[in-house]
């Protein structure tokens, strides 16, 4: 579907961002004011009018897609909490950013779930980690931590048990030069005070009702569980967090009527590793290896989003050189290879979920291994590449590829890099995709299991902030590489894969087309690499600063990752010289937000389909829970 075919245009919804802001200001002079802090953009909305104005932004101005909603704690700089919303038009273009502020005590901001369902999990996260209350939210429970946890950990004055200092490097390490184990200072690894009235007995209660009590299932578990009372064939089924088809430690609580799912509640946080809190202690550079561990299938893509965000901030300052052409070409190549890895993995495990246990995976991970060999030889690690830097890369391609783990005397695994790449891109990967299609696309069982299952309509996909193949499988041709292009994508020739049906099969088809498009991009990258051979990957020929100082401001860098839109919201609160640590570091994780419509997609299907639907969304827990 091409972009011109999208609904007839209203006048306001094709205005530029400045015009849109001007419109808002003239319509609501007392509720909307421009955000004129240095390096910030967008508007600040008076929170009492937030819902009305959000409706105007969505309906009149046409910003129908809420990409990210997150909170920032400005302790010491205004002493308020702030919700930041990034909205986009699905027809493409830059973001309209709006914010709402509230006091730190009794923090309260009206919920936007009634406007964008996609705000659901993100507001729950803001409640959980920042302690902002959202009146109007249908199910405001903690989402990453458990109910009953003490405090809201992302607040600036909340300190973790192993807290040492606000920012790294810790003085004791550098320049102090002492390394100690955190346990020596805090033997219990806790920073909690137990209230005098703590009821240990209740905590030990493991009855069914207590287990589901904190979930907000919308059903009366006790009634269902109580066999003697009301006669019913409804049943609560728990799947996970230990379950082979939840792709990690994800948990779903289903209410089923016979075999049919009546409601589904995703429960997450079992892999919540405090990425953002740690990220705010780290220096900017320090965060790159941590981003690898978000979506650990495609670490190159994660690196890319983060460096884009920080580069956006750095470009506000004086001493900044944008990456060279060769650097950009290498970045795109790595990212597209990751996308191939990601989709092969996703399709393989989706087949696992619909019953083809592990055999197809074995075919697809074979090609993945070759790509990982390449990553290992270039970046030093198979999975955690830690490859990109601000304004550059860790290193250029080596002349010859050797498997790092077989360095000595390995004549078998020693290739000329360009030859290896040419072969891989022109022959091996296309061959794998052909094989995959031959086995699956017309496969009767695959079609039977997936056509018409897990349907997400176009309107819902947009309203629920779905991203990536999930969004494009529902007929929305929204790909950030085209909608708000970055790097050298504008000059590359490729199509946005899109399917209209919105079911599991459509998502599979989108992934297969994207595999082909990635190969198409890679084929265009090869001559560019050859043409730039020998050029530096750094603008001034030498690596960038080890600890860059980043100017004051905010930035939202986003990329189209294998799983969908991966965004990084970074706030730098530096003074004149800039800051060396991010003040706020937030990851808009596609795997997390794509789970929001899981409930409506599963309703009415069988339990066995739920597993497949989850597989077709393609989540990875490192990113879901962060």
Partner 1 sequence: MKLQELNQSEYPVPAELENNIAITSLSQLYNWGRRNSMWPMLFGLACCAIEMIATAASRFDFSRFGFEVMRATPRQADLMIVSGTVTKKMVVPIVRLYNQMPEPKYVLAMGACASGGGPFKEGYNVVSGMDKYLPVDVYVPGCPPTPQALLYGMIALQRKIDGQSIANGDDVPWYGVSSAEPTPVPVLGPDIIDPRQMDMIRRQAEAAAAELPSIGARDLPAATALVAASATADATAVADAPPVDGDALNFVLPTGAAPWAEAEDIREKRRLRALARKALRATRRAVAAEEE
Site for partner 1 in 264-323 (CB under 8 A): 269-275, 277-278, 281, 289-290, 293, 296-297
Least Cβ distance, residue 294 to partner 1 (angstroms) = 9
Q: Looking at 46, 59, 60, 164, which residue binds partner 1 (CB under 8 A)?
A: 164
Residue 25: enclosing H or E segment and its boundaries?
helix 17-27
Contacts 24+ apart (CB under 8 A), 435-443: 435/363, 436/344, 436/347, 436/363, 436/364, 436/512, 436/515, 437/512, 439/360, 439/363, 440/347, 440/351, 440/360, 440/508, 441/509, 441/512
Between strands 260-267 and 251-257, the pairing is antiparallel
Least Cβ distance, residue 154 to partner 1 (angstroms) = 10
Binding flags for partner 1, 184-223, as an x/- string (CB under 8 A) = -xx-xxxxxxxxxxx-x--xx-------------------
Least Cβ distance, residue 236 to partner 1 (angstroms) = 17
Looking at beta carbons only, is 9 or 369 nearer to partner 1? 369
- Enumerate residues 131-150 that contact partner 1 by CB under 8 A: 144-146, 148-150
Residue 257: strand, helix, or coil: strand
Tokens read off for 154: 């992302």
Looking at beta carbons only, is 171 or 222 nearer to partner 1? 171
Q: Looking at 172, 207, 232, 416, which residue binds partner 1 (CB under 8 A)?
A: 172
Secondary structure in 3-state letters for 66-113:
EEEEEEEEECCCCCEEEEEEEEECCCCCCCEEEEEEEECCCCECCCCC
- Enumerate residues 405-464 that contact partner 1 by CB under 8 A: 405
Q: Looking at 1, 3, 136, 162, which residue binds partner 1 (CB under 8 A)?
A: 162
Q: Looking at 227, 362, 409, 411, which residue binds partner 1 (CB under 8 A)?
A: 362
Between strands 65-74 and 234-239, the pairing is unpaired
- Region binding partner 1 by CB under 8 A among candidate stretches 173-181, 393-401, 492-500, 501-509: 173-181
Looking at beta carbons only, is 1 or 210 nearer to partner 1? 210
Query: What DSSP letter does each residue of 205-244 carry, written as one string?
Result: ---HHHHHHTT--SS-HHHHH-SSSS---EEEEEE-SS-T
Looking at beta carbons only, is 55 or 242 nearer to partner 1? 242
Between strands 584-588 and 564-572, the pairing is antiparallel
Q: How far apart are CA 576 and CA 123, in angstroms?
A: 33
Least Cβ distance, residue 226 to partner 1 (angstroms) = 25
- Enumerate residues 380-409 that contact partner 1 by CB under 8 A: 382-384, 405
Least Cβ distance, residue 279 to partner 1 (angstroms) = 11
Looking at beta carbons only, is 483 or 589 nearer to partner 1? 589
Least Cβ distance, residue 346 to partner 1 (angstroms) = 13
Looking at beta carbons only, is 27 or 171 nearer to partner 1? 171
Tokens read off for 623: 């990113």
Least Cβ distance, residue 165 to partner 1 (angstroms) = 7
Least Cβ distance, residue 563 to partner 1 (angstroms) = 14
Least Cβ distance, residue 534 to partner 1 (angstroms) = 32
Q: How far apart are CA 63 and CA 91, in angstroms?
A: 9
Residue 545: strand, helix, or coil: coil
Least Cβ distance, residue 247 to partner 1 (angstroms) = 8
**Mutual orientation of helices 325-353 and 504-531 as an angle, nearest 10°?**
150
Comparing CA positions, the residue from 587, 576, 521 lying closest to residue 549 is 576
Q: Looking at 9, 103, 165, 259, which residue binds partner 1 (CB under 8 A)?
A: 165
- Enumerate residues 363-382 that contact partner 1 by CB under 8 A: 365-366, 369, 382
Residues belonging to the chain: 626
Comparing CA positions, the residue from 122, 125, 126, 84 lying closest to residue 107 is 126
- Enumerate residues 488-547 that contact partner 1 by CB under 8 A: none
Tokens read off for 296: 């650990």
Looking at beta carbons only, is 174 or 230 nearer to partner 1? 174
Looking at beta carbons only, is 26 or 546 nearer to partner 1? 546
Binding flags for partner 1, 592-621, as an x/- string (CB under 8 A) = -----------------------------x
Residue 584: strand, helix, or coil: strand
Q: How many positions of this chain bind partner 1 (CB under 8 A)?
A: 71
DSSP H helices, 136-213, are 182-185, 200-203, 208-213
Tokens read off for 162: 């192993």
Least Cβ distance, residue 531 to partner 1 (angstroms) = 34
Least Cβ distance, residue 178 to partner 1 (angstroms) = 8
Looking at beta carbons only, is 22 or 192 nearer to partner 1? 192
- Enumerate residues 225-254 that contact partner 1 by CB under 8 A: 241-244, 248-249
Looking at beta carbons only, is 252 or 601 nearer to partner 1? 252
Asked whether position 176 contacts partner 1 by CB under 8 A, the answer is: yes
Q: How far apart are CA 382 and CA 106, in angstroms?
A: 47
Least Cβ distance, residue 366 to partner 1 (angstroms) = 6
Query: What DSSP letter does each residue of 261-323 carry, written as one string?
Result: EEEEEEE--TT---HHHHHHHS-TTTHHHHHHTTSTT-HHHHHHHHHHHHHHHHTTSSS--PP
Q: How far apart are CA 519 and CA 506, in angstroms?
A: 20
């Amino acid at each position: 579907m091409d972009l011109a075919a999208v609904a007839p245009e209203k006048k306001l919804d094709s205005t530029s961002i400045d015009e849109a802001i001007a419109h808002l200001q003239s319509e609501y002079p007392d509720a909307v004011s421009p955000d004129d802090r240095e390096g910030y953009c967008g508007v600040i909305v008076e929170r009492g009018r937030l819902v009305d104005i959000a409706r105007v932004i969505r309906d009149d101005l046409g910003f129908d897609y809420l990409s990210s909603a997150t909170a920032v704690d400005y302790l010491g700089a205004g002493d308020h909490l702030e919700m930041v919303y990034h909205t986009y038009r699905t027809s493409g273009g830059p973001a309209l950013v709006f914010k709402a502020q509230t006091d730190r005590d009794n923090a309260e901001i009206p919920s936007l779930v009634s406007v964008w369902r996609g705000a659901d999990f993100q507001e729950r996260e803001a409640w959980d980690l920042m302690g902002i209350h959202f009146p109007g939210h249908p199910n405001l429970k903690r989402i990453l931590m458990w109910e009953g946890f003490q405090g809201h950990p992302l607040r600036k004055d909340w300190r973790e048990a192993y807290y040492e200092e606000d920012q790294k490097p810790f003085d004791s390490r550098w320049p102090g030069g002492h390394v100690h184990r955190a346990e020596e200072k805090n033997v219990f690894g806790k920073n909690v005070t137990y209230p005098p009235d703590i009821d240990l007995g209740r905590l030990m209660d493991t009855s069914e009702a207590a287990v589901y009590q904190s979930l907000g299932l919308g059903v009366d578990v006790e009634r269902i569980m109580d066999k003697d009372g009301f006669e019913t064939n409804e049943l609560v089924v728990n799947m996970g967090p230990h379950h082979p088809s939840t792709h990690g430690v994800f948990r779903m609580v289903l209410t089923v009527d016979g075999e049919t799912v009546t409601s589904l509640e995703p429960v997450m946080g079992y892999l919540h590793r405090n990425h953002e809190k740690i990220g705010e202690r780290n220096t900017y550079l320090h965060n790159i290896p941590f981003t690898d561990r978000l979506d650990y299938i495609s670490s190159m893509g994660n690196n890319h989003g983060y460096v884009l965000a920080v580069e956006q901030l750095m470009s506000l300052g004086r001493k900044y050189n944008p990456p060279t052409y060769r650097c950009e070409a290498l970045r795109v190549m790595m990212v597209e290879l990751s996308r191939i890895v990601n989709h092969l993995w996703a399709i393989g495990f989706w087949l696992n979920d619909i019953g083809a246990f592990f055999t197809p995976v074995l075919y697809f991970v074979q090609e993945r291994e070759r790509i990982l060999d390449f990553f290992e030889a270039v970046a030093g690690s198979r999975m955690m590449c830690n490859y990109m830097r601000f304004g550059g890369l860790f290193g250029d391609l080596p002349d010859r590829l050797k498997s790092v783990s077989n360095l000595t005397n390995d004549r078998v695994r020693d290739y000329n890099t360009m030859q290896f790449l040419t072969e891989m891109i022109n022959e091996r990967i296309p061959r794998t995709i052909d094989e995959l299609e031959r086995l699956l696309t017309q496969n009767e069982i695959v079609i039977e299991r997936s056509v018409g299952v897990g349907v997400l309509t176009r309107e819902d996909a947009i309203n629920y902030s779905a991203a990536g193949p999930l969004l494009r499988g529902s007929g929305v041709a929204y790909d950030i590489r085209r909608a708000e292009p970055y790097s050298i994508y504008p000059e590359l020739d490729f199509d946005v894969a899109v399917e209209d049906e919105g079911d599991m099969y459509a998502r599979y088809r989108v992934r297969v087309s994207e595999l082909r498009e990635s190969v198409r991009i890679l084929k265009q990258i090869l001559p560019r690499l050859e043409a730039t051979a020998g050029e530096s990957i750094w603008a001034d020929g030498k690596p960038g600063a080890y600890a860059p100082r980043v100017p004051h401001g905010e930035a939202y860098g986003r990329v189209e990752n294998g799983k969908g839109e991966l965004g990084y919201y970074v706030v730098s609160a530096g003074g004149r010289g800039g800051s060396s640590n991010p003040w706020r570091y937030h990851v808009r994780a596609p795997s997390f937000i794509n789970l929001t419509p899981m409930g409506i997609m599963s309703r009415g299907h069988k339990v066995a389909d739920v597993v497949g639907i989850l597989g077709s969304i393609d989540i990875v827990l490192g990113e879901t829970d962060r």
